Amino acid sequence: AEMAEFACRFLGASSAHTFLLEACGVGDLVLTCTAGRGHRLAAKYVEGGEHVIDPAPPRARWAKIEEAMFAGMRLPDWHSAEAMRDFLTFHACAASFPLFAAIGRVAYDRQPASHLLDAVREALTSSPTALRPARLCVRSTL
pLDDT of residue 141: 42
What is the domain count for the chain?
2
Question: Would you state the pLDDT for residue 142?
Answer: 40
Residue 68 belongs to domain spanning: 37-126
What is the number of other CB atoms lying within 10 angstroms of the CB of residue 93? 15
Task: Specify whether 25 is located in the same domain as 44.
Answer: no
Phi, psi values for residue 138, rounded to 5°: -110, 130
Could you list the beta-strand ranges (E) of 7-123.
none
Residues 16 and 69 in one domain: no
* Integer angstrom CA distances of residue 130 from 35, 93, 109: 25, 16, 24
Q: What is the pLDDT of residue 33?
A: 80
* 116: helix, strand or coil: helix
Compute how many other C-beta atoms are within 10 angstroms of the C-beta atom of residue 102. 23
Q: For residue 19, tell me if it sits in a domain.
A: yes
Same domain, 53 and 91: yes
Q: pLDDT tens for the chain, 142 residues: list them.
A: 788 788 888 887 667 677 777 777 777 778 888 888 999 999 999 999 999 999 999 999 999 999 999 998 999 889 999 999 999 999 999 988 999 999 999 999 999 999 999 998 888 887 655 555 555 555 544 4
Residue pair 94/87 in contact by the 8 Å Cβ criterion: no
| Confidence (pTM) | 0.82
pLDDT of residue 84: 94
Residue 106 shares a structural domain with residue 69: yes
